[in-house]
Amino acid sequence: MITRPAGDTVEILEKLLTPLQGRRILDIGCGRGNLLQALVERGASVVGLDPDEAMLEVAQKLAPKAALKHGCAQILPWGDASMHAAIFLNSLHHVPVPDMLLALEEAARVVGRGGSVVVIEPLSEGSFFDALRLIEDETEVRHAAQDAIVRAMRRGIVSESRRIEYDRIETFPDAAAFMARAVAADPSREERAEAARGKLLARFEALSEHEDGGYVLHQPIRLHHLKVPVGSKPSVNPAMFG
């Protein structure tokens, strides 16, 4: 088993994209807005996109200074080179597999030459993944996201500036809290979680590390800091113009 250091995603992003003050950053698949809030607190000018309007309502309350839009990663409603950086935080693998490369191309377009595209993806391993896979096994789509990144680099859409792997550490007071966390991330899991409750709780108990603060699970993360080559001109998505 690969041993990775524990890491905090926001702290890593702050170091990679410094200075954050005044920088225009796009969170693609912003969900409930946790990253938006963290970036606003650090002085960034943030913009968020999500296909779920209910999630956007939650995000707007959490990060009222963020400018949010409803939409999908395949057709970003912003102009060329209008952002300093674009971030996919646990979101690229939720894009339909045939459209993942297009989503990366769109991100490259809106940050422009020399801009940053940061893709942060959970890997298909670790105790958190093994506990969760009973109700949703994302192995295939997570591998597809990594493949899309490789294809984007091979096509010259982006180049890799840095790759970082670390463990996201999650602590839960009990198994019920883990189930609530799993469902909150994706409400469509609720029915499957209830149907598999007994097996899920047993797996959680077996996989967790027991510490004073509760039950600890590890989720390995791979962060790609991608840059749009200065000599390239990312193609414009014709769908934006009807």
What are the DSSP calls for 68-131, one per residue?
EEE--TTS-SS-TT--SEEEEES-GGGS-GGGHHHHHHHHHHHH-TT-EEEEEEE-S-SHHHHH
Residue 206 lies in a domain: no
- What is the distance between the alpha carbons of residues 62 and 170, in angstroms, rounded to a whole number? 21
Residue 29 lies in a domain: yes
Residue 240 lies in a domain: no
pLDDT at res. 2: 66
The angle at the Cα of 137, spanning 107 to 159, to the nearest 5 degrees, equals 25
Number of domains in the chain: 1
- What is the distance between the alpha carbons of residues 157 and 224, in angstroms, rounded to a whole number? 14
Rg of the Cα atoms in the chain: 18
Residue 184 lies in a domain: no
> Tokens 């192995």 belong to which residue?
139
DSSP letters of 28-82? ET-TTSHHHHHHHHTT-EEEEEES-HHHHHHHHHH-TTSEEEE--TTS-SS-TT-
Residue 196 lies in a domain: no
Residue 23 lies in a domain: yes
Residue 197 lies in a domain: no
pLDDT at res. 236: 45
Which residue in 89, 94, 108 sits closest to 151, CA to CA?
Answer: 108
Pair 42, 85: CB distance under 8 Å? no
Residue 39's CATH number: 3.40.50.150
Residue 99 lies in a domain: yes
**CA distances, 207 to each of 126, 181, 211, 220 (Å):** 9, 16, 13, 15
Q: Which two tokens stand for residue 85?
A: 């950086």
Residues 6+ apart with CB under 8 A from 202: none
pLDDT in tens, the chain (242 residues): 567 899 999 999 999 999 999 999 999 999 999 999 999 999 999 999 999 999 999 999 999 999 999 999 999 999 999 999 999 999 999 999 999 999 999 999 999 999 999 999 999 999 999 998 888 899 999 999 999 999 999 999 999 999 999 999 999 998 889 888 888 777 778 888 888 888 888 899 999 998 887 999 999 999 999 999 997 554 444 444 33
Question: Phi and psi of 228, rounded to 5°?
Answer: -80, 120
- What is the distance between the alpha carbons of residues 70 and 48, in angstroms, rounded to a whole number? 9
Q: Which two tokens stand for residue 219?
A: 């989720």
Mapped onto helix, strand or coil, the DSSP state of residue 217 is strand
Length of the chain: 242
- What is the distance between the alpha carbons of residues 25 and 78, in angstroms, rounded to a whole number? 12
pLDDT at res. 114: 96
The angle at the Cα of 17, spanning 150 to 27, to the nearest 5 degrees, equals 70
Domain assignment of residue 84, given as a range: 9-124+137-169+220-230
Q: Which two tokens stand for residue 23?
A: 């920088």
